[in-house]
């Protein structure tokens, strides 16, 4: 069995890569180890409409859940502020349906997709799967965070996300809860799928995520659980090399999820698009520089933003609950208004800078993070 390109991983990045390659007439095989494309649904499902449009996706009705109108941010001592997110045009989508929609695009272009088929090893002529050998010119690793676990565990956090029914979940309102003692280095989140239905999750360093999420839910009130997902998330930014010989690494496997939130539909998806376009060019020219241009394009687009997000993450990992509480006290209506009206969901370091007290707010934050903030602002 021969294909020009074999892609391991049938999620957003892998499927977009397949779509781009098959559109140019090259043969592509996508293998997915799970029994269904889009399952299990690890992701919170937030993405901007602008991001979807750039990825070449107009969501089907069943893919699109609803628009997010606001984000409520809560400090450890219970102080809150709300950002109006209408202008950022953020939507909550069903990842199961989104992945299937992209799979349909790829298949229409000529890609072949197989489920319950797992990558085992690279061979001299291609790869070996649980079903036998596949010959190919290029192998694309889109297997997600599992590809990184063997390489560097320091960039991985445990996470848990439950899909639940609860009357305290409000349609259109995302909630983010900071508490460095409960969720060290990360936060808890509530992402509505509709009125009374949503995804509730937590992540953190060195914690029992199941126990911590159960405790969080107990405090929130009555609920019914319909799905539980436990998955590692990557927060250390892009890996050093996206291309190694004839192996191309994309999506979460390449560290293309945001270091601040671990979200990556757009950034990982663009990794798949750029990689697919670079592979097409390489298959025509056989010039390795054409293949390597994928990393250059992705870094030119996202490198600086990710560098700033990594510095913001460094701050989050150092900061105490006491300092977070003081920062919340310093946030003015003007800062909230500016974030609501001007900031970009996909490039959100500017929002973080404002929330860290750079608009004439408290000295505590500036003393704590002065060095890192200078780098973020440069």
- The residue extents of the domains of the chain are 2-45+94-151+236-302, 156-234, 310-377
> Structure tokens of 22?
């098959």
**In the predicted model, what is the mean pLDDT of residues 336-347?**
75
Per-residue pLDDT for 173 more than 60?
A: yes
Given pLDDT bands bounded at 50, 70 and 90, which one contains residue 112?
Answer: very high
pTM of the model: 0.91
Q: Using 50, 70 and 90 to split pLDDT, how confident is the model at 348? A: low
CA separation for the pair 54, 270 (Å, rounded)? 8
pLDDT given for residue 339 in this prediction = 82
Task: Identify which of 24, 235, 205 has the alpha carbon closest to the alpha carbon of residue 145.
Answer: 235
Question: Is residue 364 over pLDDT 60?
Answer: no
**Given this model, what pLDDT does residue 107 score?**
98
Q: Which of 15-19, 216-220, 238-242, 319-323 has the lowest mean pLDDT?
A: 319-323
pLDDT value at 349 more than 90:
no
Topology, domain 156-234? D-Amino Acid Oxidase; Chain A, domain 2 (3.30.9)
pLDDT surpasses 70 at 37: yes
R_g of the chain, CA atoms, integer Å: 21
Whether the predicted pLDDT of 361 surpasses 60: no
Whether pLDDT at 150 is above 90: no
Kindly write down the DSSP assignment for every residue of 195-242, as one continuous string.
TTEEEEEEEETTS-HHHHHHHHHHHH---EEEEEEEEEEE-S---S-S
User: 2-45+94-151+236-302 falls under which CATH superfamily?
Assistant: FAD/NAD(P)-binding domain (3.50.50.60)
């Amino acid at each position: 069995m021969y294909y020009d390109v074999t892609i391991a991983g049938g999620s957003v990045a892998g499927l977009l890569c397949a779509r781009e390659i098959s559109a140019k007439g090259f043969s592509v095989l996508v293998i997915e180890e799970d029994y269904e494309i889009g399952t299990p649904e690890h992701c919170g499902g937030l993405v901007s409409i602008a991001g979807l449009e750039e990825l070449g996706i107009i969501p089907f009705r069943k893919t699109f859940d609803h628009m997010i109108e606001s984000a409520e941010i809560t400090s450890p001592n219970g102080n809150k502020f709300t950002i109006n997110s209408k202008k950022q045009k953020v939507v909550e989508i069903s990842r199961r349906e989104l992945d299937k929609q992209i799979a349909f695009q790829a298949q229409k272009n000529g890609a072949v997709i197989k489920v319950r088929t797992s990558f085992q090893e690279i061979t001299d002529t291609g790869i070996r799967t649980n079903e036998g050998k596949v010959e190919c010119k290029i192998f694309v690793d889109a297997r997600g965070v599992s590809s990184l676990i063997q390489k560097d565990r320091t960039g991985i956090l445990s996470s848990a996300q439950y899909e639940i029914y609860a009357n305290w979940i409000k349609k259109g309102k995302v909630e983010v809860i900071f508490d460095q003692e409960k969720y060290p280095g990360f936060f808890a989140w509530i992402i509505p799928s509709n009125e009374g239905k949503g995804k509730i999750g937590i992540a953190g360093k060195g914690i029992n995520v199941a126990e911590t999420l159960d405790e969080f839910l107990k405090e929130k009130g009555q609920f019914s659980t319909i799905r539980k997902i436990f998955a590692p998330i990557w927060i250390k930014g892009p890996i050093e090399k996206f291309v190694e010989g004839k192996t191309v690494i994309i999506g979460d496997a390449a560290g293309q999820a945001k270091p601040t939130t671990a979200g990556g539909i757009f950034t990982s998806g663009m990794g798949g698009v750029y990689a697919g376009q670079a592979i097409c060019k390489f298959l025509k020219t056989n010039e390795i520089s054409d293949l390597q241009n994928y990393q250059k394009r992705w870094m030119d687009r996202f490198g600086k933003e990710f560098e700033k997000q990594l510095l913001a993450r460094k701050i989050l990992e150092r900061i105490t609950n006491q300092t977070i509480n003081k920062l919340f006290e310093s946030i003015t209506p003007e800062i909230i208004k500016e974030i609501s009206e001007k900031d970009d969901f996909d490039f959100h370091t500017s929002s973080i800078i404002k929330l860290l007290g750079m608009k004439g707010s408290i000295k505590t934050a500036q003393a704590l993070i002065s060095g890192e903030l200078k780098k973020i602002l440069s």
